[in-house]
């Protein structure tokens, strides 16, 4: 009933969740509300807050409705433990508010995050806690979608720290880095490098030098160099970050794959394909050991390796990688239309270079279908898809 309630809304799709629950071995509390609920005919089930389901299959029922098959997980689910640890690494350390900020940012819930932290700022002076106020100004700066207004919030945090006895404290380095990040977004790369350098110098002067802090500083600087076309300098910075990670982390760790992938992409831009390929292989080996077989991030690595083979005119190897990436995405993230469309577009491009235009045309049409399902009618990606179809005729 509810899943079809959006049938007349062209901007919405219905999702039907089909849940499989092993009632004998389930260790997460749940209860049937049959005969208890206000809505007697709906046979509702109430799950506890920590309930987690594994996504099994996602099927398109029609143009307006998708079916998602779910299986209740257990406490001893090995793949879930790996994923949880990976999320902890991504959120990093810091206070619970700092982690909440990063989670809001990752989920792109900027407005909600801004509302929460503005409320906390309003009550913070009552506690007269400079450290907490400083953190809140930093978080508000991150969550501001209006980047010109983010910088004043960061500079307010700077004033508070600089008035304290810890003017060379790592908190100051964090604010410098955040200001640098905003300058990157607005395209002022000279100012970005200046603030990144200030933050980096503080990091180097403190005893709190560890793999969490220093790689981020190296990577931030590398990003600016990449923006201005300084690929060699960017690679050098990323390699310094990788060196620190290798010193402090186990041989197989998700954090290493990020460095391997970004170095590979830069080497590929410099047309150093063999060097790029060696880094891609290292990243993929780690993903195979640590992640579930069909983890969507491994699809990105397969796609990158495919692009390498395509650039080297090794079309058969390129197609193998692209097909593997597409297979993983269709199983694990069928609703991730942009990445799936990119992979299928790469398959079409490879077939076109092999002068197999009829097969290329089939994939270009699939790309168009994916874009039509997820983009507005005037989106430039649609124009690109039509252009590819025309070129393959």
Tens digits of per-residue pLDDT, 57-103?
Answer: 878 787 778 888 888 887 667 667 766 776 666 666 555 655 666 66
Q: Give the CATH number of domain 293-393.
A: 1.25.40.10
pLDDT band of 358, cuts 50, 70, 90 = very high
Listed in order, the ranges of the chain carrying CATH 1.25.40.10 are: 293-393
pLDDT of res. 116: 60
CA angle 6, 8, 14 (to 5 degrees): 25
For strand 53-60 and strand 30-32, is the pairing parallel, antiparallel, or unpaired? unpaired
CA angle 221, 227, 233 (to 5 degrees): 50
Alpha carbon distance 31, 239 (integer Å): 53
pLDDT of res. 320: 95
Query: 3-class SS at 94?
Result: coil
Buried b (16+ CB within 10 A) or exposed e, 184-219: beeeebebbbebbebbbebbeeeeeeebbbbbbbbb
Residue 178 has pLDDT above 90, yes or no: no
Alpha carbon distance 356, 349 (integer Å): 10
Alpha carbon distance 386, 140 (integer Å): 42
**Helices (DSSP H) in the chain: which residue ranges?**
78-91, 96-106, 110-127, 130-143, 147-163, 170-185, 189-205, 213-227, 231-248, 254-269, 273-290, 296-311, 315-332, 337-353, 357-374, 380-392
> Which residues partner with 47 through β-bridges?
30
What's the average model confidence in pLDDT over 93-120?
Answer: 61
Q: Summarize pLDDT for 182-235 with one digit per residue, the tens.
A: 788 778 899 999 989 988 888 877 655 555 678 888 988 999 999 899 999 999
Alpha carbon distance 17, 267 (integer Å): 43
For strand 14-20 and strand 65-72, is the pairing parallel, antiparallel, or unpaired? parallel
pLDDT of res. 142: 52
> Which residues partner with 70 through β-bridges?
19, 55
């Amino acid at each position: 009933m509810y899943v079809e309630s959006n049938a007349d809304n062209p901007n919405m799709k219905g999702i039907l969740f089909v849940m499989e629950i092993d009632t004998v071995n389930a260790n997460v509390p749940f209860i049937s509300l049959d005969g208890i609920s206000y809505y007697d005919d709906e046979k509702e089930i109430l799950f506890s807050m920590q309930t987690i389901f594994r996504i099994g299959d996602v099927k398109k029922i029609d143009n307006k409705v998708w079916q998602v098959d779910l299986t209740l997980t257990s406490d001893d689910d090995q793949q879930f433990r790996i994923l949880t640890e990976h999320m902890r690494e991504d959120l990093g350390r810091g206070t619970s508010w700092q982690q909440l900020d990063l989670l809001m940012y990752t989920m792109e819930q900027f407005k909600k995050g801004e509302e929460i932290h503005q409320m906390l700022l309003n009550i913070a002076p009552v506690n007269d806690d400079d450290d907490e106020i400083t953190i809140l100004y930093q978080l508000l700066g991150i969550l501001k979608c209006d980047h010109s207004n983010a910088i004043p919030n960061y500079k307010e945090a700077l004033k508070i720290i600089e008035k304290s006895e810890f003017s060379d404290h790592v908190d100051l380095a964090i604010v410098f880095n955040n200001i640098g990040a905003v300058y990157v977004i607005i395209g002022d790369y000279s100012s970005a490098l200046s603030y990144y350098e200030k933050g980096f110098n503080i990091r180097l002067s403190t005893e709190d030098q560890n793999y969490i802090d220093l790689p981020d500083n190296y990577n931030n600087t590398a990003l600016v160099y990449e923006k201005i076309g300084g690929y060699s300098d960017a690679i050098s910075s990323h390699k310094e970050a990788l060196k620190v990670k290798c010193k402090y982390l186990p041989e197989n760790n998700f954090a290493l794959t990020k460095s391997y992938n970004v170095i590979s992409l830069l080497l590929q831009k410099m047309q150093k394909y063999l060097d790029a390929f060696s880094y891609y292989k290292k990243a993929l080996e780690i993903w195979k050991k640590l992640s579930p077989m069909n983890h969507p991030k491994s699809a990105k690595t397969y796609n990158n390796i495919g692009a390498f083979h395509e650039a080297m005119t090794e079309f058969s190897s390129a197609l193998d990688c692209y097909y593997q990436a597409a297979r993983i995405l269709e199983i694990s993230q069928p609703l991730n239309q942009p990445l799936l469309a990119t992979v299928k577009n790469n398959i079409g491009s490879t077939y076109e270079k092999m002068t197999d235009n009829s097969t290329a045309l089939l994939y270009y049409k699939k790309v168009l279908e994916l874009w039509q399902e997820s983009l507005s009618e005037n989106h430039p990606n649609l124009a690109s898809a039509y252009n590819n179809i025309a070129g393959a005729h």
